[in-house]
A and B are shown apart, each in its own frame.
Chain A
């Protein structure tokens, strides 16, 4: 089991599962799959802006539960050692920069996704599958920006 889960399955297997989740959410609840909306539901609930979590908030709990289940069944994680290019670039005492970069990047992700009305799951997979032009525009924009920024970061650092 561990060997199966810790090796990456063919792309069409994972893709089909995610696509079926989108179909099942519509088939059962007419709901969209969006993780930023779920995170926002938690922030709104915990800051007294909303009385309940709603479907998106429970979906986010499920994402956490699914990843915990994976970790238990696989007997290992799929995050890797350290944190990618950041912990390879900033070493020794400079490693203190890494949490700041991650936090700052997280702020951009949270603020940007709320402004755009969704993230990779909400726009990139679900919205696009539902034929939303807004999702296509948002997805195209964040994909192109992320690819371009990654190349720029690679040249600078």
Chain B
């Protein structure tokens, strides 16, 4: 696993270096992209997708195995759902307000931007809120706990040990 961590660290470093060099970290560059005045970032993303698409397909077609784990190169993809649209809308609004997305925000902070820290604080809070929401019981389950079904009430004649009533 240590080799895996090191590999992730190196790959992340290449990613962080590249987005800094491409000036993904500059809010004015992102704004020009979102105002469709500068196509650089769209072209850059398209190149990344084409290279990634071709490289991963070549690996899979060649029956390659991963260098560190020895497993066959493989991946699965999920079907689109409502959450992809709902989450995408929220994410897009945040992107337009801050002119940044998670990787550039980290790179801004690493380059010493105090403004980036404000955005990163918000990202962390957003992730935490999401995790908290996921941990809450589903509304149906909560109702069931408060109002047990009649059959459950009738059958619960024996109180569990340790019950105070």
Interface residues of A (CB under 8 A from B): 5, 8-9, 11-12, 14-33, 35-36, 38-40, 43-44, 47, 49, 53, 55-56, 58-71, 74, 77-80, 82-87, 98-99, 101-117, 119-121, 124-151, 153-154
User: Which residue of chain A lies nearest to B103 when distances are taken between CB atoms in the complex?
Assistant: A35
Minimum CB–CB distance from A30 to chain B (whole Å) comes to 5
Give which listed residue, B17, B34, B124, contacts A147 with CB less than 8 A.
B34
Interface residues of B (CB under 8 A from A): 4-23, 25-28, 30-31, 34-36, 40-41, 43-53, 55-56, 59, 64, 66-69, 71, 73-75, 77-81, 83-103, 105-113, 115-116, 118-131
Cα–Cα, bound, A89→B157 (Å) = 68
Cα–Cα, bound, A143→B96 (Å) = 10
Task: Judge whether A44 and B131 touch: CB under 8 Å.
Answer: yes
Interface SS of chain A:
helix
Residue contacts A-B, CB under 8 angstroms, 27 given: A28-B11, A33-B15, A39-B124, A55-B8, A63-B107, A66-B12, A80-B26, A84-B99, A87-B115, A103-B119, A106-B120, A106-B122, A107-B94, A107-B126, A108-B122, A109-B91, A110-B127, A112-B89, A113-B91, A113-B127, A116-B86, A119-B103, A125-B48, A134-B77, A134-B80, A141-B88, A149-B97
Taking CB atoms, residues of chain B closer than 8 Å to A146 are 34, 92-93, 95-96
Task: Judge whether B50 and A19 touch: CB under 8 Å.
Answer: yes
Task: Judge whether B15 and A111 touch: CB under 8 Å.
Answer: no
Task: Judge whether A110 and B124 touch: CB under 8 Å.
Answer: yes
Taking CB atoms, residues of chain B closer than 8 Å to A85 are 27-28, 31, 99
Task: Judge whether B96 and A150 touch: CB under 8 Å.
Answer: yes
